[in-house]
Protein backbone atom coordinates (compact mmCIF):
# COMPACT_ATOMS: atom_id res chain seq x y z
CA UNK A 1 0.00 0.00 0.00
CA UNK A 2 1.49 3.31 -1.06
CA UNK A 3 1.07 5.52 1.95
CA UNK A 4 3.37 8.44 2.70
CA UNK A 5 6.27 7.67 4.98
CA UNK A 6 5.29 9.04 8.41
CA UNK A 7 1.74 7.62 8.24
CA UNK A 8 3.13 4.22 7.24
CA UNK A 9 5.62 4.20 10.12
CA UNK A 10 3.00 5.40 12.59
CA UNK A 11 0.64 2.62 11.49
CA UNK A 12 3.44 0.06 11.83
CA UNK A 13 4.31 1.15 15.37
CA UNK A 14 0.64 1.38 16.39
CA UNK A 15 -0.20 -2.09 15.04
CA UNK A 16 2.94 -3.54 16.61
CA UNK A 17 1.96 -2.09 19.97
CA UNK A 18 -1.53 -3.56 19.69
CA UNK A 19 -0.05 -6.91 18.70
CA UNK A 20 2.39 -7.02 21.62
CA UNK A 21 -0.22 -6.02 24.20
CA UNK A 22 -2.79 -8.40 22.74
CA UNK A 23 -0.32 -11.29 22.74
CA UNK A 24 0.49 -10.63 26.39
CA UNK A 25 -3.22 -10.45 27.15
CA UNK A 26 -3.94 -13.82 25.53
CA UNK A 27 -1.42 -15.54 27.77
CA UNK A 28 -1.56 -13.59 31.02
CA UNK A 29 -5.22 -12.66 31.58
CA UNK A 30 -6.94 -14.97 34.04
CA UNK A 31 -10.45 -14.84 32.59
CA UNK A 32 -10.62 -16.85 29.33
CA UNK A 33 -13.26 -14.55 27.82
CA UNK A 34 -10.93 -11.56 28.12
CA UNK A 35 -8.14 -13.53 26.52
CA UNK A 36 -10.47 -14.56 23.67
CA UNK A 37 -11.27 -10.90 22.98
CA UNK A 38 -7.59 -10.08 23.17
CA UNK A 39 -6.99 -12.80 20.57
CA UNK A 40 -9.50 -10.98 18.38
CA UNK A 41 -7.48 -7.77 18.76
CA UNK A 42 -4.32 -9.62 17.72
CA UNK A 43 -6.03 -11.09 14.65
CA UNK A 44 -7.40 -7.71 13.52
CA UNK A 45 -3.92 -6.15 13.91
CA UNK A 46 -2.40 -8.97 11.81
CA UNK A 47 -5.03 -8.39 9.12
CA UNK A 48 -4.10 -4.69 8.99
CA UNK A 49 -0.44 -5.74 8.69
CA UNK A 50 -1.38 -7.76 5.62
CA UNK A 51 -3.05 -4.71 4.10
CA UNK A 52 0.14 -2.71 4.73
CA UNK A 53 2.20 -5.34 2.94
CA UNK A 54 0.10 -5.31 -0.26
CA UNK A 55 -1.68 -8.61 0.33
CA UNK A 56 -5.30 -7.59 0.27
CA UNK A 57 -6.76 -10.99 -0.50
CA UNK A 58 -5.03 -12.62 2.47
CA UNK A 59 -6.10 -9.70 4.65
CA UNK A 60 -9.74 -10.23 3.69
CA UNK A 61 -9.43 -13.99 4.22
CA UNK A 62 -7.81 -13.42 7.61
CA UNK A 63 -10.55 -11.04 8.68
CA UNK A 64 -13.35 -13.33 7.49
CA UNK A 65 -12.00 -16.70 8.60
CA UNK A 66 -10.02 -15.91 11.74
CA UNK A 67 -12.02 -13.07 13.27
CA UNK A 68 -15.39 -14.05 11.85
CA UNK A 69 -15.28 -17.80 12.28
CA UNK A 70 -12.47 -19.08 14.51
CA UNK A 71 -12.59 -16.35 17.15
CA UNK A 72 -16.38 -16.57 17.42
CA UNK A 73 -16.11 -20.35 17.71
CA UNK A 74 -13.53 -20.01 20.49
CA UNK A 75 -15.79 -17.50 22.25
CA UNK A 76 -18.67 -19.97 22.06
CA UNK A 77 -16.42 -22.72 23.40
CA UNK A 78 -15.36 -20.48 26.32
CA UNK A 79 -18.96 -19.58 27.08
CA UNK A 80 -20.13 -23.20 26.95
CA UNK A 81 -17.40 -24.49 29.20
CA UNK A 82 -16.89 -21.55 31.52
CA UNK A 83 -16.63 -23.16 34.91
CA UNK A 84 -15.59 -21.33 38.03
CA UNK A 85 -12.27 -23.07 38.04
CA UNK A 86 -10.06 -20.37 36.63
CA UNK A 87 -10.06 -18.59 39.97
CA UNK A 88 -7.94 -21.38 41.40
CA UNK A 89 -5.22 -20.63 38.87
CA UNK A 90 -4.88 -17.08 40.06
CA UNK A 91 -1.25 -16.21 40.83
CA UNK A 92 -0.08 -19.76 40.55
CA UNK A 93 3.53 -19.38 39.49
CA UNK A 94 5.39 -22.65 39.51
CA UNK A 95 8.90 -23.74 38.62
CA UNK A 96 7.70 -24.98 35.24
CA UNK A 97 6.40 -21.54 34.32
CA UNK A 98 9.74 -19.94 35.14
CA UNK A 99 11.64 -22.57 33.19
CA UNK A 100 9.31 -22.19 30.20
CA UNK A 101 9.58 -18.41 30.25
CA UNK A 102 13.37 -18.74 30.34
CA UNK A 103 13.34 -21.10 27.37
CA UNK A 104 10.93 -18.96 25.37
CA UNK A 105 12.87 -15.77 26.09
CA UNK A 106 16.09 -17.42 24.96
CA UNK A 107 14.31 -18.65 21.81
CA UNK A 108 13.09 -15.10 21.13
CA UNK A 109 16.55 -13.61 21.68
CA UNK A 110 18.05 -16.26 19.39
CA UNK A 111 15.54 -15.51 16.63
CA UNK A 112 16.10 -11.75 16.97
CA UNK A 113 19.88 -12.26 16.73
CA UNK A 114 19.52 -14.37 13.61
CA UNK A 115 17.14 -11.85 12.01
CA UNK A 116 19.41 -8.89 12.71
CA UNK A 117 22.53 -10.73 11.55
CA UNK A 118 21.15 -11.71 8.17
CA UNK A 119 21.82 -9.36 5.27
CA UNK A 120 18.33 -9.16 3.82
CA UNK A 121 19.01 -6.45 1.27
CA UNK A 122 21.51 -8.55 -0.64
CA UNK A 123 18.86 -11.22 -1.03
CA UNK A 124 16.30 -8.60 -2.02
CA UNK A 125 18.48 -7.16 -4.78
CA UNK A 126 19.43 -10.53 -6.19
CA UNK A 127 15.80 -11.61 -6.38
CA UNK A 128 14.60 -8.25 -7.72
CA UNK A 129 17.16 -8.45 -10.52
CA UNK A 130 15.59 -11.67 -11.74
CA UNK A 131 12.10 -10.22 -11.65
CA UNK A 132 12.83 -7.00 -13.46
CA UNK A 133 12.12 -8.56 -16.84
CA UNK A 134 8.61 -9.69 -16.13
CA UNK A 135 5.94 -7.08 -16.57
CA UNK A 136 3.26 -6.25 -14.06
CA UNK A 137 0.33 -7.40 -16.15
CA UNK A 138 -1.95 -8.98 -13.57
CA UNK A 139 -2.98 -7.81 -10.14
CA UNK A 140 -2.46 -9.68 -6.90
CA UNK A 141 -5.92 -11.20 -6.73
CA UNK A 142 -5.69 -12.41 -10.32
CA UNK A 143 -2.26 -13.87 -9.58
CA UNK A 144 -3.66 -15.83 -6.62
CA UNK A 145 -6.55 -17.08 -8.72
CA UNK A 146 -4.20 -18.19 -11.51
CA UNK A 147 -2.03 -20.07 -9.01
CA UNK A 148 -4.98 -21.74 -7.33
CA UNK A 149 -6.44 -22.94 -10.61
CA UNK A 150 -3.27 -24.10 -12.35
CA UNK A 151 -0.28 -25.30 -10.35
CA UNK A 152 -1.84 -25.44 -6.89
CA UNK A 153 -5.03 -27.11 -8.09
CA UNK A 154 -4.49 -30.48 -6.41
CA UNK A 155 -3.69 -29.02 -2.94
CA UNK A 156 -6.74 -26.77 -3.31
CA UNK A 157 -9.02 -29.77 -3.83
CA UNK A 158 -7.33 -31.65 -0.99
CA UNK A 159 -7.95 -28.68 1.31
CA UNK A 160 -11.65 -28.80 0.46
CA UNK A 161 -11.76 -32.53 1.25
CA UNK A 162 -9.91 -31.91 4.54
CA UNK A 163 -12.40 -29.20 5.52
CA UNK A 164 -15.36 -31.48 4.73
CA UNK A 165 -13.90 -34.38 6.72
CA UNK A 166 -13.02 -32.08 9.64
CA UNK A 167 -16.53 -30.61 9.80
CA UNK A 168 -18.19 -34.04 9.68
CA UNK A 169 -15.77 -35.30 12.33
CA UNK A 170 -16.44 -32.28 14.55
CA UNK A 171 -20.20 -32.85 14.33
CA UNK A 172 -19.79 -36.56 15.07
CA UNK A 173 -17.50 -35.81 18.02
CA UNK A 174 -19.57 -33.05 19.62
CA UNK A 175 -22.86 -34.86 19.21
CA UNK A 176 -24.56 -36.07 22.37
Partner 1 sequence: MMLEYVLGLSAYLFSIGIYGLITSRNMVRALMCLELILNAVNINFVTFSDFFDSRQLKGNIFSIFVISIAAAEAAIGPAIVSSIYRNRKSIRINQLNLLNK
Measured from the CB of residue 4, what is the shortest distance to partner 1 in angstroms?
14
Q: Contact, 82 vs 43, CB < 8 A?
A: no
CB of 91 to partner 1, least distance (A): 13
CB of 124 to partner 1, least distance (A): 6
* Closer CB to partner 1, 7 or 80, in the complex: 80
Q: Nearer Cβ to partner 1, position 7 or 174?
A: 174
Q: What single DSSP character describes residue 132?
A: T
Shorter beta-carbon distance to partner 1: residue 36 or 91? 36
Positive or negative CA dihedral for 48, 53, 57, 62?
A: negative
Distance of CA 13 to the CA centre of its chain: 17
- Cα–Cα distance for residue pair 176/174, rounded to 1 Å: 6
Minimal distance in Å, beta carbon 2 to partner 1?
13
CA distance 29 to 25: 5
Distant-in-sequence, close-in-space partners of 15: CB < 8 Å, separation ≥ 6: 45, 48, 49, 52
Q: Name the residue nearer to partner 1 (CB basis): 4 or 143.
A: 143
Amino acid sequence: MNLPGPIHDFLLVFLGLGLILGGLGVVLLTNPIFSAFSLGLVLVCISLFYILSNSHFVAAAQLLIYVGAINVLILFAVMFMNGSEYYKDFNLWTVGNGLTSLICTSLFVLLITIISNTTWYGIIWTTRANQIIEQDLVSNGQQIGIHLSTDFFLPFEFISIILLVALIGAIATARQ
